[in-house]
Amino acid sequence: MRPLLVTGYSMLSALGMGRQQHLSALASGTTGLGPSPIPLGFDTATGTVTVELPELPKPMQAWSTRLARMAAALLEEIDEPLRRAREKWRPERIAILLGTSTAGAETTEVAYRAYVEGGKFPPDYDFQRQHTFGAVLTVVRKLTGCTGPSWMASTACTSSGKTFATAQRLIAAGVIDAAIVGGLDTLCTMTLQGFHSLQALDRTACRPFRKTRNGISIGEGGSFALVEREGDARVLIEGIGETSDAYHISAPHPKGLGAQAAMRQALATANRQPEDIDHVNAHGTGTHLNDTAEANAIKIVLGTDVPCVSTKAYTGHTLGAAAALEMAFSACAIEEGFLPPAIGDGEIDPKIDVNIPTEKTTGTFQRVLSNSFAFGGNNVSLLVGAP
């Protein structure tokens, strides 16, 4: 496939806002996970965004939610490349392709609780402007002036990974010249209770690939990237794999067959070989099943030497935002020349037969495979390369 040029990207997570805060935490092995700020009736760690989010302009107050303000923060971080793109491309040729799993659920669950308890919704609650998938698209459109095709991908934990693939195809098809891609999600009670019902949450910070791993830590945040037909690329999306397990709605295939297929497809579309991959940003949620299946898939496709790190031990699993955020971390590895240490309590599971470096690794990293797998058996692998 024709590589997709990433000319700018932003990051927001429990590690902070922007490049420096993320690099600092990743380099020092400092997790952003901590106790859940949402009362739940059980213990779990979450990756909570604690930085102050910008307010939306006054005329857009009806759209102002935590999710929309996260979008505004992420746009501020790519303001400069976006300004250049708007000078280069017509606004109707710049698409807005984002991913989310929760959309405005955080706002609706608060409003719905008020409705149940008091018989009416809060006066400022507006489902269409604050909850729907289109609500954040409207905010991004208004804040950027970009008027190209816009939609949300919502394939659970692969949502934001899908947006890179769509942008690549639409640019190849001549429909657009550039796109704001990526994704964002907020913490909400419903998600935490839902994963608790599946017995999928760790009581403490998640421990991907560790012997004592015991589940996910949910996080919030996002990452936006500006991708263009031509320009000064910081990194390239060289290859993309999109597959389905066709196995189970919420459990991965035990041998990671869908994951294997996604990684192989990413390699094939980039015209690369397994030995070309210098690092894997693993999906690595910290559940027994997922980590075992993914490690098996990595071993079969790439062998046992390539260093694999799950940055979910830093940010938590940011669900619909995870693929884009981890693409950004993959880009950081290429641009900064280091891999964050794989953190988490306990020893690495000896049954996980891939290379999990527990110390910071410095070096030259030309190509990184970033994996994301989701409910519905949906798989995305992005092959991120140096320009």
Active site positions, annotated: 157, 283, 317
Q: From the CB of 195, what's the least distance to another protein, in Å?
A: 8
Long-range contacts of 122-129 (CB under 8 A, 24+ apart): 124/62, 126/62, 129/62, 129/63
CB within 8 A of 139, min separation 6: which ones? 56, 60, 63, 68, 71, 72
CB nearer another protein, residue 31 or residue 159: 159
376 binds another protein per the rule CB under 8 A: yes
197 is a site residue for another protein (CB under 8 A): yes
CB 218 within 8 A of CB 187: yes
Q: For residues 1 and 51, which CB has a smaller minimum distance to another protein in the complex? A: 1
Query: Quick one: which segment of 51-59, 66-74, 125-133, 356-364 binds another protein (CB under 8 A)?
Result: 125-133
User: Is 274 near another protein (CB under 8 A)?
Assistant: no
Q: HSE on the CB side for 107, CA within 13 Å?
A: 25
What tokens appear for 241 in the block?
Answer: 């794999």
Task: Please say which residue, 59 or 116, places its beta carbon nearer to another protein.
Answer: 116
Of 377, 276, 281, 265, nearest to 332 by C-alpha is: 281
112 binds another protein (CB under 8 A): yes
Which residue stretch of 189-197, 211-219, 229-237, 358-366 sits at the interface with another protein (rule: CB under 8 A)? 189-197
Closest CA relative to residue 106, chosen from 311, 322, 319, 377: 319
Min CB(196)–another protein separation in Å: 8
Separation between Cα atoms, residue 165 and residue 143, nearest integer Å: 24
Q: Is 326 in the site for another protein (CB under 8 A)?
A: no
Q: How far is the CB of 339 from another protein (least distance, A)?
A: 30
Binding-site size, another protein (CB under 8 A): 64
> Out of 150, 287, 290, 330, which residue is the one contacting another protein (CB under 8 A)?
150
Residue 7 or 168 having the CB closest to another protein = 168
Describe the chain by its helix, strand, coil percentages, rounded to 5.
40, 20, 40
Contact between 124 and 193 (Cβ < 8 Å): no
DSSP per-residue codes, 205-226: S--TTBTT---B-EE-EEEEEE
Tell me if 153 contacts another protein by CB under 8 A.
Answer: yes
Q: How far is the CB of 381 from another protein (least distance, A)?
A: 13
Within 8 A by CB and 6+ apart from 172, the residues are 1, 2
Q: Among 80, 91, 124, 246, which residue interacts with another protein (rule: CB under 8 A)?
A: 246
Query: Are 264 and 241 a contacting pair, CB within 8 Å?
Result: yes
When binding is defined by CB under 8 A, the residue of 247, 254, 271, 351 that contacts another protein is 247
User: Binders of another protein among 155-184, rule CB under 8 A?
Assistant: 155-156, 162, 166, 168-170, 172-175
Site residues (CB under 8 A) for another protein, limited to 337-366: none
Residue 191 is given by DSSP the state H
User: Which of 338, 328, 335, 334 is closest to 360 using CA atoms?
Assistant: 338
Name the minimum Å distance from CB 69 to another protein: 20
Q: In the complex with another protein, which residue's Cβ is closer, 253 or 367?
A: 253
* Binding of another protein by 109 (CB under 8 A): yes
Q: Which residues pair with 228 in a beta bridge?
A: 5, 178
Nearer to another protein by Cβ, of 116 and 364: the residue is 116
172 and 229 in contact (C-beta within 8 Å)?
no
Contact present, 263 and 241 (Cβ < 8 Å): yes
Stretch that binds another protein, among 77-85, 240-248, 287-295, 304-312 (CB under 8 A): 240-248
Q: Can you give the binding site for another protein, defined by CB under 8 A?
A: 1, 92, 101, 103, 105, 108-109, 112-113, 115-117, 121, 127-128, 131-134, 137, 147, 149-156, 162, 166, 168-170, 172-175, 189-190, 193-199, 242-250, 257-258, 261, 374-378
